[in-house]
Amino acid sequence: MNAEERKYKLAIVGATGVVGRIAREVLEEKKLPISEYAFFSSYKSAGKKIEFLGKEYTVRELKEDSFDEGFDFAIFSAGGETSKKFAPIAASKGCIVVDNSSAWRMDKDVPLVVPEVNSSEIKNNHGIIANPNCSTIQAVVPLKVLDDKYKIKRVVYSTYQAVSGAGIKGIRDLENGTEPGYELQKFAHPIINNCLPHIDVFLDNGYTKEEEKMINETRKILNRPDLPVTATTVRVPVINSHSESINIEFENEFDLDELINTLKNSEGIIVQDDPKHDVYPLATEASGHDEVFVGRIRRDFSIKNGINIWVVSDNLRKGAATNAIQIVEKMIEMNKE
């Protein structure tokens, strides 16, 4: 059997969670050359039945011997503690893990990959590949293009992140928050009618862990360890798709029309930038898509070589499930070469 005909075995860990559900949807759309699937969860969800590609599967409890079956790939979306324990076990059995948690992202021996940006890093894996934070993924897709052409000097992030990024409990806090007697399950304050500048825990330096993730992951993905980056991350009362205002200062001068055309001609980016006709990226329109939408592209006249852009993407698809599956897809392509 040659590489073109090879079929693969794929496991989904955290199959019943929000990202796991989206991963199943994306896999059904992509029709990768995978002949066997298995779905794992904690003991609480084990035994559930799920429909996938016209078949019924039983979700199995994740155990230390779960990877003895010879899986080629596993996508983990079950939290950091699960990944820390089980990803090395899976890797030791010859399975390549694509991990959605933050457990391995900053490990110097683990590639942190966005396929449109740094797919060449995939080959440097030792059995584990990290999927970046959802807010980082959509940001670095346009940033990489612009860094290559104009060399970025500084980045300022302000994010407006949907409640789906906080999982099912975050969604419930928005959907049920007006019910009398409802007790918040995820957020410190009601998300309805509020913007909460508080994603993940606060650190001693005043930043949140989410903000620190964006800063450190951006540097690692762009291979710019000393790049000045700052961030303020905010949870907003939107169900799905993160929006970001990104202020970028360049080392080099630029022509704005050329810059916009560069973005238009880049993989994974859709430019929506016609403010005279109220055209700019919206969370409602980005949901259900895998691209990163960019608009409100304009000069920052307060500095010599600066721009502002508005970046929107589906945080459950491109920001999590799709990016992980695109990594698997790239590995399959590499095996054909």
Residues labelled catalytic: 134, 242
Nearest to 76 by CA among 17, 145, 25: 17
Alpha-carbon span 311 to 319, nearest angstrom: 12
The alpha carbon of residue 32 and the mean position of all alpha carbons in its chain are separated, in whole angstroms, by 20
- 179-187 long-range contacts, Cβ below 8 Å, gap at least 24? 187/235
Tokens of 216: 């450190």
Taking each helix axis as running N to C, give the angle between helix 18-30 and helix 322-336, from 0 to 180 degrees, rounded to the nearest 10: 40
Q: Which structure tokens are listed for 53?
A: 């590609």
Name 38's bridge partners: 11
Interstrand relation of 8-13 and 73-76 (parallel, antiparallel or unpaired): parallel
Half-sphere exposure of 335 (CA within 13 A, CB side): 17
Would you say 306 and 250 are in contact if contact means Cβ atoms under 8 Å apart? yes
Beta bridge partners of 292: 269
CA distance 223 to 214: 14
Comparing C-alpha atoms, which of 156, 196, 155 is closest to residue 173?
196
Cβ within 8 Å of residue 270, ≥6 positions away: 291, 292, 293, 294
| Paired tokens of 35 | 């002949």
Residue labelled with tokens 């304050």:
189
Q: Which residues, 6+ apart, have CB-to-CB distance to 235 below 8 Å?
A: 161, 163, 165, 166, 170, 187, 191, 195, 196, 198, 199
Rounded distance between C-alpha atoms, residue 37 and residue 28, angstroms: 12
